[in-house]
Structure 1
Amino acid sequence: MTLDQETRGDVTILRPVGRLDSASSPELERAVLERLEQGCKRMVFDLADMDYVSSAGLRVILLAGKKLRAGQGRLAISGMREMVREVFEMSGFLTLFAVTPTLDEALSKV
């Protein structure tokens, strides 16, 4: 996995590219925690270029959501490919977060 990061206004956009699994999830977790420590209150995961997510990857996204909620922040997820969406659906994560087809829609949700 590679991780692209962008900031638009006060929104952090994280774009994992490739596979988000037990080998790559620590990198994403570090990025999430770093942004939260810097005071980030609005975050979007753009998953348009993510091919696969494991339970380790889901844990990082759940961690981000919990920490943001605790600090009155918001999280949205955009651009899931079908296989990734199925994993989110089976795990019940689709009901936990604002999930949108496009990045622009996700930005409007946070």
Structure 2
Amino acid sequence: MINRKPEVNIIMNIAETRQGNNLVVAPSGRIDSQTSPIFDRHLSAIIERGDTRLIIDLAGLEYISSTGLSAFLSAAKKIRAAGGSMALAGLNSRIRLVFEMSGFLRLFPIYANVDAAVAG
């Protein structure tokens, strides 16, 4: 009998690009109980280094849990304290529904895509 440890399968990537004065942060995959601490630390590091105009591009996000939502709330508080702004872009219908049901849609400006958020 082979005794194997369960695999920890973290399925999330985070890309960053700049568009004008904005930093576009694009998580892809899943933000769940395994990956939300990573996402939270990533956003905190961005804000701490002085990037306070964020657009979070959720076009590549497949799933978000309540712990993932808490990372957004934490980042929003830090951004506001720093005098910055944070907008969300590219929410698919499932992700939008999670944000809507949790009451988070009213916390952030929401745009169809990154270009609209940059123009907004």
TM-score, normalization: structure 2?
0.85
Distance 1:108 1:97 in 2: 16
Say how many residue pairs are matched: 109
Q: What is the aligned-residue RMSD (CA, Å)?
A: 1.1
Tell whether the 8 Å contact from 1:47 to 1:77 is kept in structure 2 after alignment: yes
- Structure 2 gap segments, 5+ residues each: 1-11
The answer as to 2:118 corresponding to 1:107 is yes
Q: Could you give the per-residue CA deviations for residues 84-104 of structure 1, whole angstroms, max 9, x where no partner exists? A: 100000000110100011111
Q: Identity percentage over the alignment?
A: 39
Greater than 4 Å deviation, 4+ residue runs: none
Q: How far off its partner does 1:11 sit?
A: 1.6
- Residues of 1 paired with 2:99 and 2:63: CA distance? 11
- 2:47 corresponds to: 36
**Separation (CA, whole Å) in 2 of partners of 1:108 and 1:19:** 27
User: Is residue 10–residue 40 contact of structure 1 (8 Å, CA) maintained in 2?
Assistant: no
2:38 matched to 1:27?
Answer: yes
Structure 1: gaps of 5 or more residues: none
Q: State which structure, 1 or 2, has the greater radius of gyration over its C-alpha atoms.
A: 2
- Return the structure number with greater helix share: 1
State the 1:108 CA deviation. Answer: 2.9
- TM-superposed deviation, 1:9: 3.5
Asked if the contact 2:59/2:92 (under 8 Å) is kept, the reply is yes
Q: CA deviation at 1:47?
A: 0.2
Query: Is the aligned partner of 1:54 residue 2:54?
Result: no
Q: In the TM superposition, what whole-angstrom CA distance separates every residue of 1:9-65 from its partner, at most 9, and x where no partner exists?
A: 432111111111010111211211111111112001100010110011111111111
Matched with 1:64 is 75
- TM-score normalised to structure 1 length: 0.93
1:75 aligns to what? 86
